[in-house]
Amino acid sequence: MAFSITIRRSAPTTRPITVQLHTPFVPTSQDLDLKQGPDFQGAHYVYGQTLVPEVEGGPRPTVHMLWTPVPRALTLGGEERERRWEFLTAVAESEEEAKGSYGEGLALAAAGSLHSSHARAWAALWRGCSVDLDGPLPLRQALRGCLYYLLSAIPPRGSPGFLFHGISPGGLSNGTRGEDYWGHVFWDQDTWMFPNILLFYPEAARAILEYRIRTLDGALRNAQEQGYEGAKFPWESAATGREVCPEEIYGAQEIHVTGDVLMAFEQYYYTTQDEKLFREDGGWELVDAVARYWCSRMVWSEEEQCYHIRGVMPPDEHHCRVDNSAYTNAVAQRSLNFAADVARDLLVPVPEEWADCAKKLKVPFDAEKKYHPEYDGYSPGEPVKQADVVLLGFPLMHPMSPEVRRNDLEMYEPATAPGGPAMTWSMFAVGWLELKEVQRAQSQLNKCFSNITEPFKIWVENSDGSGAVNFLTGMGGFLQAVLFGYTGFRITKTSLRFDPALPDDIDRLKVTGVSYLGTKLTFTITREEMRIAAAESPRDPAASPLEAVLEASGQRLPLPGGQSVSFPTAAGWIQRSPTETP
């Protein structure tokens, strides 16, 4: 981290100019046992460990910090017209890494290229991904801000082996005690932020999945302690994968997070076909453990002749100990189907129990009213905290007719708390965009603007200003409303589908840097025409090139690297070109 202070003389005088400085920072912590080390190249140095391990007998993570001391005053000499002072901070898990980073920063500062190197790094990131539209300035600014803050939270590019520790709802921000969830990782990372990262930077998405793999042992212990098989990922995760939520009810009941984790693995697998993650790097062990957990968590109902999952808290946290949460059961079903697909790809025998549990698991549905009750016994109109059943349509893509999709949206839109978490309305927007109700979708998306603060587009969790700051979860939902809503992108087992729907005040949308099966794609969409350009060839030279397929006509348009195709705006998909037999 770096900041600078510049004093510039605006009047032609020769008097020294002194600016008094004050910094509230002191190198103490209520959570860390810190010791002072020797100064390093002008920097102060502290190091230490957490006072308490995350779980009894567990590791105590270490931290090393170097920082440029801030003087009480800075003075511009009488003969100087301008001067800049630069201040650096390096934080790492080892002394070697902290000193290496600090030394690198000093070298850049000495060469006068500290800021320019930062600007070049960001320029490279922006070249790799962008969302540009011809539309209202507030929307364009909000999108840019969301992408900026999300990119700020992912591992640096070109750093294989970087131990990433996940993304908390507040990212790198730090609020008052409890407000930013102590930096813990929730489903917010896997469901709300991950899909956007995956589209643009699959290597960063892989780092997020590697974090979950590294914490698998903790998830196995969580399940065991609750009397189940397999792995139960914690509602709040930190270094070990053990449950660290301070309130027991969430860790015990909000079990949908385990399915949310596996859905991120599914999206990554179908977008990249990275079998190595599953064959060699621990992915399969995680998939298998999640499938075993869900099977052990179900009970058979003789009365209904189907499996139930009882005593849970759905995403709607206004309700607890409910039976058969529609979202929880649907994501569990999806987990089991994906686990079976991966097993077949890896030539691993598929347990019959997985297929049986997936097929016979109850997902509540009211055949008379043609909608999905949130759980057994839900009464229409009962208040809901946040997006829940609407997530069945997206991102779960649970099979349903357009009529049922509409009924779910209309049932839960007025029942959802208007001042709830910021990500909620973006999912209603995606639903209405699916149904081509573009203005209704935009009215939902516009509700998100009450969570954006000026001038830096910082998001707050709740529209009254309370909760986590800077709320990356809300940004992730907002980005998905454009990246998966306006474009209609859907990640499936064999394709990347598209079905654009643009509101009246947006004339053109350009999404640059979408990564699919190793190829970078650019989508330019207007109401009349759609253009898809393949900017790079797949990394694997033996892989088949891509093609675009138009849904209505079945027309296939080859997409070789360095070329583009255009056609009247319509639904279709991108897929790997079938291998031709000589």
Tell me which residues are annotated as active site: 317
**Local structure of 452: helix, strand or coil:** strand
Cα 101 to Cα 117: distance, rounded to the nearest angstrom:
14
Cα 290 to Cα 220: distance, rounded to the nearest angstrom:
9
DSSP for 272-325 reads: H--HHHHHTSSHHHHHHHHHHHHHHH-EEETTTTEEE--SB--SSTT--SBSS-
Q: Taking the CB of residue 382, how many other CB atoms lie within 10 A of it?
A: 14
Cα 445 to Cα 107: distance, rounded to the nearest angstrom:
46
Kind and range of the H or E element at 62?
A: strand 62-67
Cα 227 to Cα 506: distance, rounded to the nearest angstrom:
53
Kind and range of the H or E element at 2?
A: strand 2-8
- For residue 561, CA distances in Å to 324, 515, 539, 564 come to 47, 13, 11, 8
- Which of these, 329, 326, 327, 377, lies nearest to 357 by C-alpha position? 329
Query: Are 181 and 236 a contacting pair, CB within 8 Å?
Result: yes
**Local structure of 81: helix, strand or coil:** coil
Question: What single-letter DSSP state applies at residue 65?
Answer: E
Cα 520 to Cα 128: distance, rounded to the nearest angstrom:
9
Query: Are 319 and 388 a contacting pair, CB within 8 Å?
Result: no
Query: Are 497 and 533 a contacting pair, CB within 8 Å?
Result: no
Cα 523 to Cα 187: distance, rounded to the nearest angstrom:
29
Q: Which two tokens stand for residue 201?
A: 């930077």
Looking only at the bridges linking them, the beta strands covering 62-67 and 82-92 are antiparallel
Tell me, rounded to whole angstroms, the distance of Cα 286 from its chain centroid.
19
C-beta pairs of 54-57 under 8 Å, 24+ apart in sequence: 54/238, 54/239, 54/240, 54/242, 54/244, 55/218, 55/240, 55/242
Cα 299 to Cα 225: distance, rounded to the nearest angstrom:
18
- Per DSSP, what are the bridge partners of residue 559? 546
- Which of these, 435, 434, 432, 429, lies nearest to 449 by C-alpha position? 429
- Which of these, 439, 446, 455, 393, lies nearest to 418 by C-alpha position? 446
Q: Taking the CB of residue 94, how many other CB atoms lie within 10 A of it?
A: 12
Query: Are 495 and 504 a contacting pair, CB within 8 Å?
Result: no
